[in-house]
Every structure is written in C-alpha cells, then in structure tokens.
Structure 1
Amino acid sequence: MSEPSVCHKCNEVIQQRIITALGKTWHPEHFACKDCLLPITEATFNIQAGEPVCSDCFVKLYSGTCHGCKQPILERTIKAMEQSWHEECFVCNGPCKKPLVGTSFYERDGHPYCRTDFEQLFAARCAGCTLPITDNAIVALNAKWHRDCFKCKKCATPITASTFAVEENKPLCTECSG
C-alpha cells in the first residue's frame, strides 16, 4: 500500500483532489502564490526561490521590462547594454532590423547596431570615394581618405610619400606637380 500524500503547506493528508508541483503535493486551496497568497488556478505558474508565484505577481515583482517594446519579459531575457530585452526585440536599430542575439554589435546613443548598418550610418566617409572608412585612414587636406583613394588627381597613382602638392583641394604627386 502506498504512503498517503501529505500537503506541503498544512502537513495534513490529502484525501480528495491533489496537486503535484515542484516535487511536492498540495491541497488545491493550499497551492498558492508565495506573494499574494491566493490559490493558483491557472495551468501555468512561475517559480521564485523554489515556491510557486502566480502570473500577476510574477509580472509585478519579478519580470523585467523589455527596453525595446516596454512590455514585461515572461520568457528568456537578453541582457545587453545594461538593459533587459525580449529575444525578438534585440535587433539592429538601423535599416536592416536584423536580430542581434548571439552576434557582436555596436552601440550608439543607447541603441544596438549590426556592423554593416553602424558603418553605413556612423563611420567616417572617404573624401575620395565617399564610402565608409572601416580601417586605417589617411588624414590630409582636412579630410579622411582610404589609403587607395588618396591618389594623384592627374595620374591616379596612390600617393605614399609624405610630401605632395595640392590643386583645387585634391592631391598631386610630385611628378605631376612639377
């Protein structure tokens, strides 16, 4: 004969309906939220410190608020940039809106960006080709240049010497300036 079930809350034998949860048995009226103390009647509940918590108390007391949509987070939480996010809300703030979970990202003004959008939106632009500069730049003529774009305006040879001439704010190699 099996051992009678005892209620985790009142330690009395359970004669009628039984609730089994968290590895314990309960009278239905004693399976209650640890915070509001009301019986939990929903099919789903949350757990805090090993005790059951109703959905209302969980949202009020334990769930974070998503930095993206400002709604409670009831499932997996993404922690990034000192904020909490729903997995589906942690996306690039640029035009692509790609998910950023599990990838590297860039931060600007409290918003996450994928590398491509970050470079397109915020990287310095080359004075020669106007594309973003994502590595070392040459700074000359009050502008930034890709190494390959800093070339003679006449012969299009890259200027690698530390001296060059200037014509209409464009570089000239020493051969073309003479």
Structure 2
Amino acid sequence: MSTPHSPQPPVYCHKCKQIIEQRIITALGQTWHPGHFACKDCEQPITDATFNIQDNEPVCTDCFVKNYSGTCFGCKQPIMERTIKAMEQSWHEECFLCNGPCKKPLAGTSFYERDGQPYCRVDYEQLFAIRCAGCDQPIIDNAIVALKAKWHRSCFKCKKCGTPITASTFAVEENQPMCKDCSG
C-alpha cells in the first residue's frame, strides 16, 4: 500500500510575496523570483554569481563600488574586500605598507606616522630619529643632551681615554667631552 505524497508547501518570493512556481533563486536566507533578485539601489536584476550585501539586501557590484566601497588611500582603487582603517584613511590590506625602504606590510602591526604616511619602527628610526653625536645612530630611548647635541648614554665618553662620562661636570676639547682625569 502506498502513501500519497504530501504536497510541498509553496515557496514565496521575498520581494513580491507571491508563490514561486518555476525557477527559484535562494540567497541571503530568502527565496526570490529570478527577476526580483535585484540590486536594492538600481533595482536591476542581479545575474552575476557574486554580489554584495548592504543592510542585508543584495547590491550589484557597480552600485557597491559607487555607493559603499571606500577608495584605497594607497592605490586609489575601490576596496571590495577587507579594509584596513588607519590614519583616518581606508586601505587595501596589501596596500598598507611601510613608506620607508623596506615596504613591509603593516596590517596588524604597530607603525609610526610621519606626514600622513605609515612607517615600520626600523625605517622610521633610521629616517627620522635624532642621531647621536657620538655614533651617528638613531636615538630611540633616553639621551644625554650636551655640547648642543644629543648622545646615547654609552657614547658620551671621554675623547682621550674612552671612559663614559657620568659626572655632571666635564671638560671640552674641540667640542668633544673629556673626563676630569684627561683634562687636568
């Protein structure tokens, strides 16, 4: 004895609320007549396999670029995927790079800003940090200020014997520090 098949419940279109009897589009957890699956902005049917979503409604690629996507500060092209927000700008992840010589990606890392451009720590220090009067390398922590210059603590030493000068008074010869023993 066979049991009769129970009829399938009707499927309704999300847009017009009418029963869909032929081809069905299923997207965004809803069902649609093919002509009703349309861009929420321009109202043209979406026929591409890929589309964008805004306010849980479909948006065609053209309208998404025109109305919703940001423009990458780095390459000036529309951002269609993950956006990096940094320095009050939007960036493609692959365009948010150190502006220094290394050009390393900076997404997800700490960075320094100078004149509206991002820099990694190493390039920032090499390009912009104050240089030590003793070794000419960047000073990134505490410095000694003496003789109209800044010095690493370890670089502020007697020009004759090389002993670090830690006293508050010292002698000067040819604009270089000298310890009391060498100056006497």
TM-score band by shorter chain is over 0.9
1:59 aligns with 2:72: no
Deviation at 1:57, TM superposition (A): 0.2
User: How do 1:64-83 and structure 2 match up within 5 A?
Assistant: 64-83=70-89
User: What code does the residue aligned with 1:122 have?
Assistant: F
Shift of 1:80: 0.8
Please list the CA deviations of residues 66-86 of structure 1 after superposition, one character each: whole Å capped at 9, or x if unmatched: 111111000001111111110
Matches within 5 A, 1:158-169: 158-169=164-175
Counterpart of 1:102 in structure 2 is 108
C-alpha displacement of 1:99: 0.8
> So what's the TM-score if we normalise by structure 1?
0.98
Q: Residues of 2 paired with 1:172 and 1:24: CA distance?
A: 82
Unaligned runs of 5+ in 1: none
Aligned-partner Cα distance in 1 for 2:9–2:95: 49
The Cα offsets for residues 65-116 of structure 1, whole Å up to 9 and x where unpaired, read as 1111111000001111111110101111100011111111111111111100
Task: Find the residue that maps to 1:120 and give its secondary structure.
Answer: helix
Aligned to 1:49: 55
What TM-score do you get using the length of structure 2 for normalisation?
Answer: 0.95
Structure 1 ranges of 4+ moved more than 6 A: none
Render the CA deviation track for 1:149-176: whole Å, top value 9, x for unaligned. Answer: 0000100000000111111110111111
Match for residue 3 of structure 2? none
Matched residue, 2:45: 39
The reply on whether 1:149 has 2:155 as its aligned counterpart is yes
1:4 corresponds to which letter in structure 2?
A: P
Q: Paired residue for 2:19? A: 13
* Counterpart AA for 2:105: P
Counterpart-to-counterpart distance in 2, 1:114 and 1:124: 16
Deviation at 1:2, TM superposition (A): 1.6
Partner of 1:114: 120
Could you give the per-residue CA deviations for residues 7-31 of structure 1, whole angstroms, max 9, x where no partner exists? 1111111121110111111111111
1:26 aligns with 2:26: no
Query: Distance between the aligned counterparts of 1:155 and 1:23, measured in 2?
Result: 80
Report the CA distance between 1:6 and its aligned residue: 1.1
Structure 1 letter corresponding to 2:62: D
SS at match of 2:168: coil
Q: Number of paired residues?
A: 178
